[in-house]
Every structure is written in C-alpha cells, then in structure tokens.
Chain A
Amino acid sequence: MEMTKQVEEALYQVIDPELGINIVDLGLVYQINVNETNDVHVQMTLTTPGCPLHDSIVSGAEAMIYGIDEVNDVHVELVWHPAWSPEKMSSRAKEMLM
C-alpha cells in the first residue's frame, strides 16, 4: 500500500476521547505528505483552538505514524487556518453525533 494511504489508515485509529470519533472522520486531518526518504509531514487542526486534548491527539497521531514500518521521521503540524468547520466531517461522523 502507498505510504500516504498507510498514514491515513493509521490516523483512523486516533480517537478524539471527548467525542469518541477518529480524527480523519472528524475532518481534522488536512494534508499528508511523505517525501522520498519516508519522512511524514501531517497538517491537521482541532475543533477549537483551546482544545484541552491538544497534546494527547498530536502525540497520539505521531505514535500511530511511527508504528508504520519504514517510516523515518514524523512531524505533525497543528494549524488553525483554515479553521475547522462541521462541513469537514464525514457523513459517518455526523451520524455518530446525532
């Protein structure tokens, strides 16, 4: 499987403990880039800038990516622009919140 896809699959395992939904379905992951030396750069956001689970989610994402064989270095970058909006959620996540 392509490395980018593997990273995405791994991020499906990172669950927001407040909502009980993974960060990909929540629409928090903006970009996944893997270079030729298998360094992974993930750009993601959180539902709110003051989210108290900030550190847990970022370190959790890093841990999941490091769990993939052949991954060299991992950098999870937290960005606030563009801001997260409910439209970014998958229909599965929306259903879970109903």
Chain B
Amino acid sequence: MIPQMQTQTKTETNIKLPLAFILFGLVSFALAQSLLWMNTSALSNGIFRMPDLWMAAHFLLLGWAVMVVMGAMYQLVPVAFLTPIWNEKFGFLQFFVTAIGVAGLSIALSVRPGVAIFAGVLTVIGILMFLFQIAMTLLKQEKVNVMTWFVGSALVFFLLTIVAGLTLTWNLAFGTIRNYDAFFKSHLIFGLTGWFTLLIFGFSYKMVPMFSLSHGFSMKWAKPALGSYVSGLIVLVVAVWIGTWPFTIIGWGLLWLGFTGYALDMKEIIKKRIKKKLDQPFIFSLIAIGFGWLLHTTALLMNVLQVTNATVWSWLVYLYIMIWIIFSIMGYLYKIVPFLWWTHKYSGSVGKKEVPTLKAMTQEKWGTILFTTMTFGVIGLAVTAMIGLPVLTFTSQGILTIASALYVISIARVLTR
C-alpha cells in the first residue's frame, strides 16, 4: 500500500529561490573576470580606483560573492539551524530588488558614478530585506550555538558594510563626505574581513565535518576565535579612523589569532574524519583556509615591518578576495549546487527508483583542473603585476577569465543532469 507521502518537509526551501541567486552570481562572476581582463593595463600599473574597476569589483563582490552567499544561505540556514526560512515570497521579492540594485549600481559606477547612489539605495534595501529575513529566521531557532554567533556577527558586519558603502556612493553623487579614505577602508574591513570571513568561519563549522564525516572533534577554539576576530575588526576600524600605527598591529594580531584558532579547529576536524578520500572541490575549500591563514600572517608581518606601499596592500586585498573568499565559495558551491538540483529532481524518487549519488552530478576531474588553473592564474596575475611584467599579467588574467567561464559552465551543466 503506497499512500501519498510527505516528500517536502520543513527543512527544504523552494529550489527556485537559492537557484535564482546562484545563477545571477555565476553570470556576474564571468562578467567581472571579463571586465578585469579588459582592464589589465590598469591593474598592471597598480591602479585600482577607477570606474571600470569599480564596476568589475562590485560585479565580483556584490553580483557574484554576495548573491551566491545569499542563495547558499537560503538553502543552508534551514538545514544548519533546523528552522524554516521566515517567508519565501519575501525572499523572491528580495531577490528582484537586490538583483536590480546590484546590476544598476555596478554599471552606474562605470557609466555614470553620479547616479550610482540611486541603484545603491535599491541595493541597500535589498540587503536590508535579506538581513531582516535571516534575522527573523534565526530568531525562531530553538537552540543557539556558536555557529549562530558567527553568522549573527557576520550579518552585523554586513549591515555596517552597506552603511559605509552607501556613504561612499553618497560622496560620489554629492561630494560632501570628509574622511573618504577612512570610510573606504572601513567599507573593506567590514565587508571582506567582517561579513565574508565570519560567515565562512560559521558555515565551515557545519560543512567541513559534514563533508568529511568527522566525529569526536572539540571545536575548542571556536569561541576564542570569534572573540579575537571580532575584537580585531573593531580595533582595526578604530586604527583606520585615528590613524595610530600600534592599533593596526594590535588589530591584525587579533585577526591573526582568531584565524589561527579557526584553522586549528578545521585541522582537528579533518584529522578526525572518517571519510578518508575527500571530494576534490571540497579539498579546494580547505586549501583556501591555508591561503587565508597565509594572507593574515603576511598582513600582520607587513604591519610589523611597517610596509605602507599602497600597491602591495592593494594586491594583498585582491588575493584576500580571490584565494580566500572566492575560492572558499567556489569549492563549497561545487557541493551546494549538485545538492540543490539533486533534491529538486531526485529527492522524491529515493526508495522508488535508482537515483544518482551527489558525486555523480558533477565532473570532479574537470573541477580539479579548473581550480588548479585558477590558482595559478590568480597568483601569476598578482606576482607579474607587482614585479611589472604586463604581457604575463594580461595572459594570467586571460587564463583566469577563461577558467572562470568554464567554471560557470561546469556548474550550469549540473542543472542538465
């Protein structure tokens, strides 16, 4: 006897919602890399603050990274926090508002920076809607854990990022803001080290044990890591505003301690794994943790040695975005998208007919080649630009652009299975 069974229960989100964000993100990623390729000469000369690169940076960070993270959160929050999304219809509305805002803002920054404020306001409304949605969802969580604190802190820094960002676009339109540089640096600290890093920390504590089937690990550094990292962020922003050198060292020192604590926990989780042969794209996310730690160490050493060269710091920020934040997201996305599509297409068929494994949904070898190529592309780009080899810089960004486009295609192909 086979009665009608419940196949969609509380922990599943309508696939169209996360997928809409992720697809928008993938297109933005290919677009951002193409824009960077077209502007390699500016990159080679260490010029980062120009309209076309603002457009590329915002397609990369807002269009790709933020939109993908939002999509991933719509899928991960219900399963990781065991609570359904507060309002899915509100989520779709939030997607349209944010997508129009982000695309408008990125394009306006290049075409007409003076009107970027209007698209910026729309982006802020979209992000505020997202923050409200997730806050309402987390408030329903019965048992708060350390992951909630990481994600909650990340959301607070996300809010601060858009406040600082909006102030910057206000300045582009009306030019009345003093301390532009301090606002710009605060925007970077809040966004890159606050929002993205704390979010990756939080979800790693769930995803790394899950994908490695780890058991019996302690997570003993989680709370100290959170405390140290958040304190570091606050001290660093204070340093930006009052411009006193020792504060910068203390700030980076605290960030380094926080990152090291997180990395030690991840190391223990991997050491205690039961699944000995890890999936290649997941290994890529783990390698990104190593890159992240090296970048924090480099930043701390540069402070100790009082390296103030703006070009060197700009490339460090670029590497931070690419080989820590974006590589982490790319690795996890190779697991998240197959899961989303598998749930949509095969979840109801389990026990009724043969269904593929999640691993069979992707071409793992293809992913490994792309990830390796991208690593060489990014590092090649930064090194050749810093030592002044423009032809090799152009070639490296070309490799990176093609590999990014192929990555987008390989993820999109999952949706045909």
Chain A interface residues (CB < 8 Å from chain B): 13-15, 17-20, 47-64, 66-67, 71-72, 85-86, 89, 94, 97-98
Contact (Cβ within 8 A) A55 B213 = no
Contact (Cβ within 8 A) B351 A63 = yes
| CA distance in complex: A52, B82 (Å) | 10
Q: Which residues of B contact A61 (CB under 8 A)?
A: 351
Contact (Cβ within 8 A) B206 A50 = yes
Contact (Cβ within 8 A) A55 B210 = no
Cβ of B275 within 8 Å of any chain A Cβ, yes or no, is yes
Chain B interface residues (CB < 8 Å from chain A): 1-3, 5-9, 11-12, 75-76, 79-82, 206, 209-211, 213, 215-216, 274-277, 339, 342-343, 346-348, 350-352, 355-359
List 12 additional A-B contacts (Cβ < 8 Å) besides A59-B7, A63-B5: A15-B357, A18-B211, A48-B209, A50-B82, A50-B206, A52-B79, A54-B9, A55-B8, A55-B11, A59-B348, A71-B1, A97-B274
Expressed in whole angstroms, the minimum distance between the Cβ of A59 and any Cβ of chain B is 5
Expressed in whole angstroms, the minimum distance between the Cβ of A15 and any Cβ of chain B is 7
- The residue that A18 contacts in the complex, of B3, B7, B79, B358, with Cβ under 8 A, is B358
Contact (Cβ within 8 A) A14 B350 = yes
- The residue that A59 contacts in the complex, of B1, B210, B339, B347, with Cβ under 8 A, is B347
Q: Which residues of A contact B79 (CB under 8 A)?
A: 50-52, 54
Nearest 5 CB-CB pairings of A with B:
A60-B350, A63-B351, A60-B351, A64-B351, A52-B79
Chain B residue with the shortest CB-CB distance to A52: B79
Expressed in whole angstroms, the minimum distance between the Cβ of B101 and any Cβ of chain A is 29
- The residue that B82 contacts in the complex, of A49, A72, A94, with Cβ under 8 A, is A49
Expressed in whole angstroms, the minimum distance between the Cβ of B306 and any Cβ of chain A is 45
Q: Which residues of A contact B216 (CB under 8 A)?
A: 85
Contact (Cβ within 8 A) B274 A86 = yes
| CA distance in complex: A52, B339 (Å) | 8
Q: Which residues of B contact A50 (CB under 8 A)?
A: 79-82, 206, 210
Do A97 and B276 form a contact, CB below 8 Å, given A17-B342, A59-B350?
yes
Do A59 and B5 form a contact, CB below 8 Å, given A52-B11, A85-B215?
yes
Q: Which residues of B contact A49 (CB under 8 A)?
A: 82
